[in-house]
């Protein structure tokens, strides 16, 4: 195959994954982005992909495939040039289905929280079972060391988010994937930049249910009202309920040990390294998804102790002067709460600091302002870098039952923790951004 694929917005996690898959599939791949920097630029260059800093509006008509990332919008010169010259283009999800997924058994993991971890778990369980799945995941599963590969079987695992596909296609990305096995982990309001209400999100999920075949499987929690409301609109596929068909009994408060039941019959016990009741739920979803494609439950249980979590999911970055520092991707009150609950159960009464960057659009605009203070009750002290725009963090301080400090710079944060931390303390950094490399700055300073 000598077709040339040019990707605009190539350095995003999803588009970078598409680039890697295209290269593996035999395409000649090039791409451009406004910000080309490591680690994604290093990974793509190592694959032999030609990268350009900034967008060139003089594209050659000879490029047969142009993929436009959802970060690009009308008004950008490159977009206007493509439209004016009537060049062929598609969204990343559309291209992915057409070229990679169409002949595969797609296992899609959707929902507000836990998509990356659950997709990584499923991919690992299938790998452990000898099925060699393909995957595209919005993180780097440590068992594989890469975020995307074609695989060598009919199965393809994909993290399926509800964000829009492109400036010209406002359907959720997951609509394009045509899953045969679908996991919906949970459903809450998020992405306030593209959705006005939870109902808007539920509509997209119902569109997704409409294309899951009747000989497929839909896997959902039994106690999620928002998901049940979507199912009530119509579902044409057998539904497996987590909490009814598959159950887990936690044996330790920190979530590191639990029993698995299927149809009320005990299947085995998992001892593993992940923390939190939310990760037990993620594991149960992975076991159910693997079972749906023929992997014995006992095999899935045996795989879990060897699972290595995804980077930035309660990843211990190091220890300095007796202070343990963790990095976590949590950027929604529910995720913050479950992350802190899991760590609290592991460390007992040790002093726990939570450092937050309110990086997502939904957080930056204050949508979750009322639900943030209850989310951090398992921490002893909270530090927040002042959001921009500042939507009134004084309200957070007033509503919080834990001490909250708001600081303006990374330097001030480092100095704060130099003065406040002592041997035996734990500090978890939570953000969906890079947070300016604060983790290494803290380790060095302490």
The confidence score (pLDDT) of residue 428 equals 86
3 state SS for 310-341: ECCCCEEEEEECCEEEEEECCCCHHHHHHHHH
What does pTM read for this prediction?
0.80
The confidence score (pLDDT) of residue 275 equals 80
Tens digit of pLDDT for each residue in 177-187?
999 999 999 99
Same-domain check for residues 163 and 285: yes
Go through 177-197 and write b for each residue having 16 or more CB atoms within 10 A of its CB, e for each that does not.
bbbbbbbbbbbbbbbbebbee
What percent of the chain is modeled with pLDDT above 70? 91
Structure tokens at 11: 């350095």
The total of structural domains in the chain comes to: 3
Same-domain check for residues 82 and 120: no
Domain coverage including residue 325:
315-445
Answer whether residue 150 is part of any domain. yes
Domain boundary pick from 259, 281, 306: 306
Answer whether residue 98 is part of any domain. no
The confidence score (pLDDT) of residue 249 equals 95
Structure tokens at 308: 């290595």
Cα 213 from Cα 104, distance rounded (Å): 13
Tens digit of pLDDT for each residue in 320-353?
878 888 888 766 787 788 788 778 877 888 889 8
Residue 1 has pLDDT above 60, yes or no: no
Least confident of 204-218, 268-282, 422-436: 422-436
Q: Assign residue 410 a region (left: φ > 0; alpha: ψ between -120 and 50; beta: otherwise).
A: alpha
Answer whether residue 411 is part of any domain. yes
Residue 46 has pLDDT above 70, yes or no: yes
Same-domain check for residues 274 and 292: yes
Residue 221 has pLDDT above 70, yes or no: yes
CATH code (residue 395): 3.90.190.20
Q: DSSP of 244-304, one letter per residue? A: TTEEEEESSTTSSEEEEEETTEEEEEEE-S--SHHHHHHHHHHHHHHHHTT--HHHHHHHG
Average pLDDT over the chain reads: 87
The confidence score (pLDDT) of residue 41 equals 80
Answer whether residue 183 is part of any domain. yes
Domain boundary pick from 258, 284, 306: 306
Tens digit of pLDDT for each residue in 368-397?
667 777 788 888 888 888 776 556 677 777
Answer whether residue 95 is part of any domain. no
Same-domain check for residues 422 and 339: yes
Higher-scoring residue by pLDDT: 113, 210? 210
C-alpha to C-alpha distances, 29 to 45, 51, 137, 177, 337, nearest whole angstrom: 11, 9, 20, 22, 41
Same-domain check for residues 179 and 46: no
Same-domain check for residues 255 and 348: no
pLDDT band, residue 250 (cuts 50/70/90)? very high
């Amino acid at each position: 195959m000598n077709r040339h694929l040019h990707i605009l917005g190539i350095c995003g996690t999803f588009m970078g994954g598409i680039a890697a898959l295209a290269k593996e599939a035999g395409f000649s791949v090039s791409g451009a982005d406004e910000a080309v920097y490591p680690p994604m630029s290093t990974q793509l260059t190592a694959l032999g992909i030609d990268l350009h800093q900034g967008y060139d509006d003089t594209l050659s008509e000879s490029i047969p495939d142009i993929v436009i990332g959802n970060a690009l919008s009308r008004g950008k010169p490159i977009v206007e040039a493509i439209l004016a010259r009537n060049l062929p283009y598609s969204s990343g999800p559309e291209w992915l289905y057409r070229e990679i997924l169409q002949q595969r058994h797609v296992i899609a993991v959707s929902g507000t929280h836990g998509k990356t971890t659950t997709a990584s778990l499923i991919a690992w369980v299938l790998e452990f079972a000898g099925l060699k799945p393909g995957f595209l995941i919005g993180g780097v599963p440590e068992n594989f060391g890469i975020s995307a590969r074609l695989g060598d079987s009919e199965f393809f695992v994909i993290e399926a988010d509800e964000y829009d596909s492109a400036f010209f296609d406002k359907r959720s990305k997951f609509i394009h994937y045509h899953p045969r096995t679908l996991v919906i982990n949970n459903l809450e309001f998020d992405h306030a930049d593209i959705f006005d209400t939870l109902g808007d999100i539920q509509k997209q999920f119902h569109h997704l249910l409409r294309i899951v075949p009747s000989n497929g499987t839909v896997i959902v929690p039994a106690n999620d009202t928002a998901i049940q409301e979507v199912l009530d609109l119509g579902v044409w596929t057998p539904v497996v309920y987590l909490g009814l068909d598959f159950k887990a009994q936690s044996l330790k408060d920190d979530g590191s040990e639990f029993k698995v039941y299927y149809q009320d019959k005990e299947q085995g016990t998992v001892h593993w390294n992940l923390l939190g009741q939310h990760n037990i739920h993620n594991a149960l979803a992975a076991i159910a998804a693997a079972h749906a494609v023929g992997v014995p439950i006992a095999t899935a249980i045996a795989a879990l102790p060897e699972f290595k979590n995804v980077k930035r999911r309660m990843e211990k970055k190091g220890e300095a002067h007796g202070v343990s520092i963790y990095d976590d991707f949590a950027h929604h009150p529910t995720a913050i709460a479950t992350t802190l609950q899991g760590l609290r159960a592991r460390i007992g009464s040790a002093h726990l600091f939570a450092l937050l960057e309110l990086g997502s659009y939904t957080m930056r605009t204050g949508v979750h302002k009322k639900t943030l203070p209850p989310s951090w009750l398992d921490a002893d002290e909270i530090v927040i870098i002042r959001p921009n725009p500042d939507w009134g963090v004084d309200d957070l301080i007033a509503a919080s039952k834990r001490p909250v400090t708001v600081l303006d710079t990374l330097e001030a944060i480092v100095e704060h923790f130099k003065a406040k931390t002592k041997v035996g303390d734990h500090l978890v950094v939570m953000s969906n951004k890079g947070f300016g490399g604060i983790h290494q700055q803290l380790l060095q300073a302490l």
